[in-house]
Every structure is written in C-alpha cells, then in structure tokens.
Structure 1
Amino acid sequence: MEEKCGWETGPNRVQHETFLKAVLDMLLEKAVFDGTNRKNKLVEWQEPEELKQKMSLAVREEGMTHGELFALMQQVVKYSVKTGHPYFINQLYSGLDVYGLVGQWVTDALNPSVYTYEVAPVFTLMEIEVLSAMASLVGFEQHDGLFSPGGSISNMYGMLLARYRTFPEIKSKGCSELGRLVALTSIDAHYSLKKAAMTLGLGSDNLVLVNTDAVGRMDVNHLKHCIEEEKKKKSTIIMVCATAGTTVLGAYDPVAAIADVCEKEGIWLHVDAAWGGGALISPALRHKIRGIHRADSVTWNPHKLLVAPQQCSVFLTRHPGLLKACNSASAAYLFQKDKFYNTSYDTGDQHLQCGRRADVLKFWAMWKAKGTSGLAQHMERVFSLAEEFAGMVSRRGRGWRLLQIPECTNVCFWYLPSALHDVPAAVLQGTLTTPADHQHFKRVSAVAPRLKERMVREGRMMITYQPLRGRPNFFRLVLQSSQVTSRDLEYFINTIEELAQNSQE
C-alpha cells in the first residue's frame, strides 16, 4: 500500500480495494474481536501530551500513502476506549451488538440522508415501521415520531411540541409577549432539560425542579405544590417531564400518578425514557413504566439499554401531525407538491434537521435478527445481572455499602478500604455534625477517584463515580451488555478490592 492516496472522490477497485479490505480486516480483528476479549485491556491509556506525540494528528498540505493512512487507523483503534469490552461499565452505553454493527456499516456505505422518499425509499419505510412498533410498545393508539441525534434533542422535541401546543403562534411571532413559560421536572432529571429550556427561550431559571423521594422518584405531592406556586405567579406551565430511569440512580418516576396530575391540570406530559425505556420491550419489566401510554410524548434511546450502536434515539408523540405543524418550513426545493409519488412519505419537514442519518437501520437489523422475544431476553438478563451484583455488594462485608436497591440496572455503592470501615452511615448520607464527620466525608470522597485512576491507567475496567445531593462520591456500575457474566461481576468486586489494597501499600 505504498501508492499515494488519490484526491478524487469515489471508490476505484484497482486503487482502493486492497486498502479497504485491510482496514475492514483490521477492524474485525482489533476492534470487534480483540476489543471485546476479556484477556485484553479495554484502553491503552495515554496522557494527552503523550498521545499527541504518538499520533500524527495535525493535517498538512500534502497527502499520504495508503500504508501511512492504514497505520493511523491502527493507532486510532489501539488508543481508543473499547466500549464493547465487557469491563466497560462506565456510561449509559456499552456492549457491541454484531447485528447493529452490520446495520451501521451498511448505513455508512450507502450514506443516505432521510428527508424525502425519493432519496431514501428503504429507510423512509423502515423508519415508519420501527416507529410504529415502538409506539405500540409504549401503548399509543395513534402516533407520530422521528429518529433524532440523541436523547437530549428528543427531550427538546418534547418541550418544543409542548410549547407549540400551548402557543401555536410562537412559530411565527416568537415568544417576546408570552410572559413566563415554565416546565417542571425532578431534581434528578437529565441535564438536557435545562439545555432545552435555555435553547427554547424559557431560560434555565424557569425549569422548576421537583423534589424526589428517598430512592430518587419524583415526589408527586411536591409536584402538585410546585404547580400551585406557579399558578400564583401567573406562570404558564407548558410541560411536566417525568423520567423513566434517572441517570445516576436509575429511578422510575411514578408516571401514572404524574399523568393524573397533568390530565387534571391540562399540562403536556413528556416521559424521558431514554435510559429505562428498554423495559417496555419485556412483558416482565414493562410494569416499571406503568401509565406511559398516557404521556403526550416519549424519548426512548435504543442505543442505551438495548445496545444499538451510537447514536439511536427516538421521539414519539400520541398527537399525529403536530410535529409537522410545529416544525415545517415547506422548503420548495425539497418538498415539491407535484412529485410523481405519494408525498406523504416525505417526512423531512417535521424534523428540525434537513440532512439526517439513517439511524434506524442498525436497530431494525437487531430487531429483525433477534425478534421482540430476543430483545426481551436481553433486557431481562441485564436486569437480573444488576440484581445479582447488588446482592453481591450487600453480602460482601464491611467495606461494601449499597446505596439502595436498584430499580433499573444502575448499581450505586461505596467501597471503603479497611481504614474507613467504621465510617458512620449518616456520613454516607451527607449528615455531618462533627469535625470527625467532615474528615470522614473528605476521605470517603477521595476513594472512588483514586481507584478510578488506577483501573483506567492499568486498562482493567472502567466504572464511573459521582456525588449526589450531599452524599460523598460513590461508584455507579451500569449494566446493559448481556455479554457480561456472573464471573465478570466477581471480577469487578475483586479488582476494586485489589486496587484499593495496592494503593495502600
């Protein structure tokens, strides 16, 4: 591969076939198989300045050979985090689904943009089918929906439609004369709600945060109180957002009770099920989101618990036509009225975007390959793993403290080295009454960052940590890959203990 890379676009069999096959073979070997092998590190950690020195990152005036470019692709894989590795349990995405990967590769080879039927006939029909199936699982009798670039944007669509439903004139006249618009969500809701309020002109101060109960679920009585307070202020409440699977604790808000309140008050109910929505696909788990069919709109990310490749996010609403009414701009160069086919399949005008990836194919491929029953088995497996790991933490001994029994697959816990075994439980809950309590709090908070650094530098595992509402840093292990086994759970426990022991030596 010593020939120079060409400047012309388009594949040429003579010029490119050897290079492309080499890259694909390398990806299969190093990213797909080696990258998910427990015997291998999940990351070859480098400090930023070291990584800059090892990789030729700067672009330059002249091009390079295929061999040089291939070597760079090898480095990209070598130094990237292998998020499909069973020991990557760090964020709300992990695992590598073979059928989803195939869908991703086919999508990229075809490079479609889904806005009219004429340029994306297969993907247009595929989206309609998948959105209909997902809406049926939610329980919507009628629906509209779309694929969006992530759960944050899907949540913004919910607020956007809620605002439009309340004030349709805002589309043309703006919001300068509408007074104070507010939305309500829980204190544990995803930060994308704050960003949506900032983006859509409500302002972050007008996202009212509702208290939660002891396990992180929205307090419905406090929701009612907040609504009454906003009425006294003459605010216009455009939306309440419930969360089905909060980011940290994995709590499921009581959607049915929240729906009772919203229906009584005439308020749009959006459910952010980006994380926990996968439970809907399993008859054994869907009770966790009882009442979701009463929502006006729903966010659901298959790239989270269902392990579709990034990114794959869906927004659904039970109000057909509202997306187009809210978002349409009727661009004549795309959405002509005199086309030779049924233009009702030209769905692009209901999106905020014009150009849009065909994120549907990877999830469709997974669903076709496994069937609904296979996806349900996957979901039941990861929920069972979370229950198993929580039990292991509870039984392990004095150094392990479970924060709470998990509702989703988020298992939150403290690991306390031997010197901290006698830390009072009140300190872990953030109740500090003596100087000794404050010192204990500081020492407990330092444990997780220290162990996280060691595990990442050694490439052994990745698990995240955070404080929450006055509590010291705790670990949050999130399970979504059904490749994980009971032996892996034991590995996580043993590795944390070993890293802690080594850090004391």
Structure 2
Amino acid sequence: METILLKKMYEIIGWGETEGDGLFSPGGSISNLYGILIARYKQYPEIKRKGMTVLPGIVLFVSEQGHYSVKKAAAILGIGTDNVIEVKCDERGKMIPAELEKNILQAKRKGQTPFCVTATAGSTVLGAFDPLQDIADICERHNLWMHVDAAWGGGLLLSRNHSYKLSGIERANSVTWNPHKLMGVPLQCSAILIREKGLLEACNQMQAGYLFQPDKLYNVDFDTGDKTIQCGRHVDIFKLWLMWKAKGTSGFEAQINRYMELAKYFYNVLKKKDNFKLVLDAEPEFTNVCFWYFPPRLKHIPKGFERDQELQKIAPKIKAQMLEEGTAMISYQPCGDKVNFFRMVFSNPATRQTDVDYLIDEIERLGKDL
C-alpha cells in the first residue's frame, strides 16, 4: 500500500519510473529535517560514522518566508541556525533567484561551503511559490541539493488548473508533501520524497538484528523501517489510501479547485470594502488571503507609525472576541514590517461562500467600535 501510493506521488511530481524513494513521517517539520539530513549525507557520507568533525563549515539557504522548521532542523542536526542563510523575497513573498545566487557566492568568498537550498512551494503566511525552475538552475550550477518544502502547496499538483505553480519541482532532489494539509487527510500524514533510490536507507539504516533479518519468509523490501530515524511508527498511509480510493484524483482536484475559487471570491469581496485592506493587492496565488480590518476611527489617522501602533492591536482583539463568543477562528500575525493582519486559509471542504460572507460580517460587527 505504502509503495503504491509513494510511487503515485513520485509520478505526480514528475520523477521517472526508476527514480523515487520515500516514507511517511510525523509531519512537515520532520520531513524537512529528513530532506536536509539526506542532503548532508549525500555530500558527506562519512559523517554517519565520524560525526561533525569531518565537515567543513557548511551552510544552507532558505527564503526569508520559509518555514521555521528549516532552522529547527539545522539546530537539531548540529549545523547551527547561524548557518541557515535567509534569502530576500519579492513583494509577493517569493525567493528572488538573483539574491540566492548572490548569497551563495558571498558564502563561498567567506570560506563557507554551501550544500543545500530549501525552496518553498506554498509559504505559510502569504501562500507564495518560489520560482523553482530558476532555483533548480542555480542548484545545478553550484552542485547543491535542492529540497522543496511543498508541505502546504504540494496538493496543488493534483489540480490541472494550478499545478503550473510548482513547475520545476520535478528537478528537486527531495520534496516534503503533507496530504494532511490541502488534501484534507486527518493528521498525521506527511511524506518525504527523495529522488535518488537508496539514499534514505544508506543514511539511516542500523540493521538492528532483532528487526531486520535478511532471511524472512516474505520479501524484505517491505521492511521500510530501517530507512527512518524512528523505530515504531503510525500506519499513516492507510487513511490516505482509503481517501484516494474514495475520492479519486479527480475528487481531490475538484476539492482543491473549490478552495482556490473561494479564495478568489473572498479577495474580490474584500477589495470592494472600504474598511478592509489587502496585504497583497493582487489576486491570491494560493488559498491564503491576508488582510487588515480598519475600524472607522483609524480611517482618519494618516498612514504612519501612530496608525500602525493602533492597527497592530485590532486583529488580536477581534480574534479574542470571536473565541469568547464561539463564532469563528481565524489566525493573525505580523510579517516583516507589516503589523498584525488576518490570514484566512481555505482548506476545509465544508466551507461555502455563505461562510465567507458571515466571517466578513462578524469581523465588522466585532471591530467597528474598537
């Protein structure tokens, strides 16, 4: 079952029949850790026996909008968070390829050794997709491992209307893809997919004699446990297999396209309202829609520090009132120089346009006197 579905995911990414390996992990953070772990092993296989002392000063790259788990993985693996270089993004939150190349060259001039780039397909806050083709070109030029964190955005590969946003993912060396996000599979269900066969096992295997005997009755290729950094694991594959059997790829596609339509509808409604302002004044690339609500009293304060100080407090207050009344839950956060804003993400198949309209009305009701 696991082998069949992993093969299906490799094919959807665009890897060939002879390529592809993978396993299911406890979540996207662990899948990203696997990607970086395997990237390091590929470049420096002797680390498995000799440890960090055999390494030069290695560094990896991620966009400034990338997931925090990349830094966490660097801390866990002994690489160090100071050796994660954040690459500037454009106004939409996408990594700028020229900045990546500049950062790689700067690192080399400092005597550091680049080994990996983590690109993002569907960033957590803005829902941005890094330009994967351009990043792949740079990785090939500098002989760097390319990992794609598609934990959030990987499901878009199932939509013929939107899969082009991940163009170039087939050139990645490893991919994180969480079916428990956009595809709606119950937690936990995250896959780490490695293009080169054998690397996962070579990096992680310890050949424990009480588990992985080579002379078992059945085909020992089904013993995937020695590829992992765990021992006991959940059977995370079954619920995904069952959902795929029930929905089919076309069912997932219709569901995901519906999310995209709702995001566009939400964006178009907000754009027409005077008391709402979109963080990105462009049609959403994904299901993330980020916006501010302006109470009437703030509309007359000129743009600047004073208004930002007041606006910063609005989203937390509205969310607190929503929670107290039990009407809705919506996340908020600051981002860079932007003060707290709401982040609406569509990933629930039960959501309808009426729910979107209700949320807007509720924000206005609770926020008008703030």
TM superposition score category, shorter chain reference = over 0.9
What pairs with 1:201-212 in structure 2 (closer than 5 Å)? Answer: 201-212=78-89
CA distance in 1, matches of 2:195, 2:246: 28
Give 2:361's match in structure 1, choosing from 494, 497, 503.
Answer: 494
Higher-Rg structure is 1
Q: Look up the equivalent residue of 2:4 and give its one-letter code.
A: E
Runs of 4+ in 1 over 4 A off after TM superposition: none
The equivalent residue for 2:294 is 416
CA shift, 1:340, in A, is 1.5
The reply to whether residue 243 of structure 1 matches residue 110 of structure 2 is no
Q: Look up the equivalent residue of 2:263 and give its one-letter code.
A: A
The equivalent residue for 1:225 is 102
CA distance in 2, matches of 1:347, 1:462: 39
The equivalent residue for 1:385 is 262
SS at match of 2:197: coil
The equivalent residue for 2:4 is 129
The reply to whether residue 140 of structure 1 matches residue 15 of structure 2 is yes
SS at match of 1:216: coil
Q: Are the equivalent residues in 1 in contact too, given 2:186–2:239 (CA < 8 A)?
A: yes
Which segments of 5 or more consecutive residues in structure 1 lack a partner in the other structure? 1-125, 428-436
State the identity %: 48
Give 1:403's match in structure 2, choosing from 263, 279, 300.
Answer: 279
Q: Look up the equivalent residue of 1:361 and give its one-letter code.
A: F
The equivalent residue for 2:341 is 474
CA shift, 1:421, in A, is 1.6
Q: Look up the equivalent residue of 2:86 and give its one-letter code.
A: L
Give 2:170's match in structure 1, choosing from 293, 314, 323.
Answer: 293
Give 1:358's match in structure 2, choosing from 232, 235, 239.
Answer: 235
CA shift, 1:386, in A, is 0.5
CA distance in 1, matches of 2:218, 2:245: 28
What pairs with 1:5-404 in structure 2 (closer than 5 Å)? Answer: 126-141=1-16, 142-396=19-273, 398-404=274-280
CA shift, 1:174, in A, is 0.3
Deviations 1:202-258 (A, max 9, x none): 100000000000110001000000000011122121110000000000000000110
CA shift, 1:274, in A, is 0.2
CA distance in 2, matches of 1:493, 1:289: 31
SS at match of 2:330: strand
- TM-score by length of structure 1 reads 0.72
Which segments of 5 or more consecutive residues in structure 2 lack a partner in the other structure? none
SS at match of 2:54: coil
CA distance in 1, matches of 2:338, 2:15: 39
SS at match of 1:183: strand
Q: Are the equivalent residues in 1 in contact too, given 2:20–2:196 (CA < 8 A)?
A: yes
CA distance in 2, matches of 1:235, 1:378: 45
Higher relative contact order (CA 8 A, sep 6+): 1
CA shift, 1:423, in A, is 4.6
SS at match of 1:215: coil
CA distance in 1, matches of 2:155, 2:224: 26
User: What value does the CA root-mean-square deviation take over the aligned residues?
Assistant: 0.9
SS at match of 2:148: strand
Q: Look up the equivalent residue of 2:346 and give its one-letter code.
A: L
CA distance in 1, matches of 2:31, 2:174: 10
CA distance in 2, matches of 1:339, 1:401: 63
CA distance in 1, matches of 2:61, 2:271: 35
Give 1:461's match in structure 2, choosing from 328, 338, 354.
Answer: 328
- TM-score by length of structure 2 reads 0.97
Deviations 1:403-459 (A, max 9, x none): 1132111100000000112455xx4xxxxxxxxx22211100010011010000100
Change (3 A) 1:497 1:196: same
CA distance in 2, matches of 1:299, 1:314: 6
The equivalent residue for 1:440 is 307
Deviations 1:261-301 (A, max 9, x none): 00111100000000011100111110010010000000000
SS at match of 1:272: strand
SS at match of 1:354: coil
Q: Look up the equivalent residue of 1:490 and give its one-letter code.
A: D
